[in-house]
Amino acid sequence: MTPRSVPVTADEPKPYRNADGVLGLARTAEVNGEKVGEDPLSSMSRTFER
C-alpha cells in the first residue's frame, strides 16, 4: 500500500469524532507488507493546543 492523501470536506469526518472532538480512526503501520503496529488516531501525541 502506498501512502496517499484524499481531500475531504470539513463535515465528512464528523461521524468519526469522539466526545472530545478527536478523530477515532484506526491506523496501522506496515513494513514490507507485515503489520508492525496499530493504534487509533485519537491516541496520537500532540505538541500543540487544540
Quick: pLDDT tens for 14-35. Answer: 888 888 888 878 888 888 889 9
Q: Which three cell numbers stand for residue 12?
A: 465528512
Averaged pLDDT for residues 32-49: 79
Read off the pTM.
Answer: 0.47
- Could you tell me which of 13, 14, 42 has the C-alpha nearest to residue 26? 42
Mean pLDDT of 35-43: 86
Task: Give the Cα separation of 44 and 4 in Å (integer).
Answer: 19
Residue 27 three-state SS: strand
Residue 1 pLDDT more than 60?
Answer: no
Q: How is residue 32 written as a grid cell? A: 514490507
